[in-house]
Amino acid sequence: MHNLGWKLASLALSVALWLAVVGEPELVAIQPVPVLYRNLPPNLLLLSDAPDQVRAELRGPSGRLTRETLAEIFAAIDLSGVTNPGTQTFTLSESDFSLPQGIGFLRAVPSQVSLRFDRMLSKTVPVQIQLTGNLPQGYRLTSKTVQPESLQVSGPETNVRGIESAKTDPVDLSGVTRDIDVRVNAFVSEQRAQFSSPPLVTVHLMVEKTEAAR
């Protein structure tokens, strides 16, 4: 009987809260949620066709299924068990979703995602100079060099293995009548490869007058 008034008040409050929750209609929402990938082994790459979202079917009281609450939900797929390149399928379950209290998980659409993995490969490739246009009449090109002479690229093994060289953006010879240095970017045609450092190179051109021009 000690503090009976406080105990009765607490009981009444609990009953009122229970009635408020029970009295809310239960709803089902189909919500697109972002997909995150965690614990990817450092020697592997997740290829870019991995889905960035799925649709989750959720159930809960109307007071919980608000726009703000639904915006907090995401799925996180654990990749720590992936050991080799290739394709692996993951089945989405409730444990993969971050669900606010009071919201239940029914299913995901799609219920499975197939992911492709490849090994990371780095290699050094030579830089090829691309020239465009023609020197003015009476001049000829005696030397063309580039610094650095090679660049390191990295990316999925199946894509990087076939890269033989990097090319510079075209250097225009029109109007060149003396030795010049031109700073340009280098590139590779494989979109899934990237450079380990900024691919800015210096092309050094040496020209001289021809005997006829003298």
Residue 166: Cβ within 10 Å count: 24
> What distance in Å separates the CA atoms of residue 186 and residue 56, rounded to the nearest whole number?
44
Q: Give the model's confidence band at 66: pLDDT under 50 very low, under 70 low, under 90 confident, else very high.
A: confident
Instruction: Answer whether CATH 2.170.120 is correct for domain 25-110.
Output: yes
Q: Does domain 120-209 have CATH number 2.30.30.760?
A: no
What confidence tier does 102 reach under pLDDT thresholds 50, 70, 90? confident
CA 72 to mean position of chain CA atoms? 21
**Mean pLDDT of the region 44-66:** 90
* Ranges of H-type helices in 131-211: 157-160
What are the pLDDT digits (tens) for 123-167? 999 999 999 999 999 999 999 999 999 999 999 999 999 999 999
Q: 54 with 109: CB under 8 angstroms?
A: yes
The per-residue pLDDT for 152 is 97
Do 25-110 and 120-209 show the same overall fold?
yes
pLDDT mean over 85-113: 94
Q: What is the pLDDT of residues 5-26, one digit of tens each?
A: 565 567 666 655 554 555 567 8
Peptide bond into 110 cis (omega under 30): yes
Spans of all domains in the chain: 25-110, 120-209
Q: Where are the alpha helices (DSSP H) in 3-147?
A: 4-23, 67-70
The model's pTM = 0.70
Burial class (CB in 10 A: 0-12, 13-18, 19+), 157: middle
